[in-house]
Structure 1
Amino acid sequence: MTQTARTRRMTGVGIVLVFVYGVMALAATGRSFVQIVRAFDEAPLAYALSAASAVVYILATLALLFAKSPAWYRVAWVSVLFELAGVLVVGTLSVALPALFQHPTVWSLYGSGYVWIPLVLPFFGIWWLRTHAPEAGA
């Protein structure tokens, strides 16, 4: 086995995790772009939250991809935890105060429009980060 193969961090579940984050980044970016261009004045809060979720998914995708570096590893933690907080807060508010979210966002109803992937994904991200911390001196 070569040195590269032994030290390669992104395998199996990590690749799938980064792929799913990438798909969510594309989906959230596309959705927020269309919402903002078409009708931002109708629901600025909801559409701004969709754009914020897109930024979080893009950042999380990049951070998880480069998480071998201690700096990117910290960015990955921040982005995944921010994503979890966002989906929990927005999801709860969309249930408790539906008038605030008459227009759906990525995180509305805990991501039900995305088959609850936004609710489940950060837990997988947290698990992966806990089990794949960068080596000291990396």
Structure 2
Amino acid sequence: MPGSAAASDRLGGLGRVLIAVYIVLALAATFRSVYQIIAKFDEAPLAYSLSALSGAVYIVATIALIKRRGVWRGIAWGALIFELCGVLVVGLLSILEPQLFGHPSVWSFFGSGYLFIPLVLPVLGLIWLRSTARAGSA
């Protein structure tokens, strides 16, 4: 079926782009948070801890999206939902209660320091997971 093969190729292409962006974000958030925690943790412990948490979530999400079969599919769903909730909660708190953070975290202001990629990426990832589930069952 040519139509389904084309749809599968598009999903595969989108998946590769998502995974590549997740790898970059995982490395950026993790290395940034490690440096911040080592060099200046006392300045903004909550922000730097949240950045480390986001880096860990990005690593788990990346691995789960790469594997995305069996239990890994559920882990991918959980990681992306957790990530989206984290971006929304931290983003809102960073606007309403900025004094809580001291310095911005990856998820502060809905990921504005990372061009809002932390806000958009989990949404795209969830859409992709849903699409690949449909493609697999068709």
1:61 is aligned to 62
1:98: how far off?
A: 0.7
* Pairing 1:89–2:126 present: no
Distance in 1 separating the partners of 2:26 and 2:48: 15
AA partner of residue 100 (structure 1): L
Distance in 1 separating the partners of 2:94 and 2:88: 10
2:99 is aligned to 99
AA partner of residue 72 (structure 1): W
What are the superposed Cα offsets for residues 105-129 of structure 1, whole Å, 9 maximum, x if unpaired?
A: 0000000000000011011001001
Aligned CA distance change for structure 1 residues 9 and 71 (closer, same or farther; 3 Å): farther
* Pairing 1:40–2:50 present: no
User: Identity of aligned pairs, percent?
Assistant: 57
Distance in 2 separating the partners of 1:89 and 1:39: 24
1:80 is aligned to 80
* Pairing 1:131–2:134 present: no
TM-score, length-scaled by structure 2: 0.88
Unaligned runs of 5+ in 1: none
1:8: how far off?
A: 8.5
Distance in 1 separating the partners of 2:105 and 2:131: 31
Distance in 1 separating the partners of 2:22 and 2:96: 28
Aligned residues: 131
1:103 aligns to what SS in structure 2?
coil
CA-based RMSD of the aligned residues comes to 2.1
Q: Would the aligned equivalents of 1:10 and 1:65 in 2 still touch at CA under 8 Å?
A: no
TM-score, length-scaled by structure 1: 0.88
1:108 is aligned to 108
1:22: how far off?
A: 0.6
More helix by share: 2
Unaligned runs of 5+ in 2: none
2:28 is aligned to 27
1:12: how far off?
A: 0.6
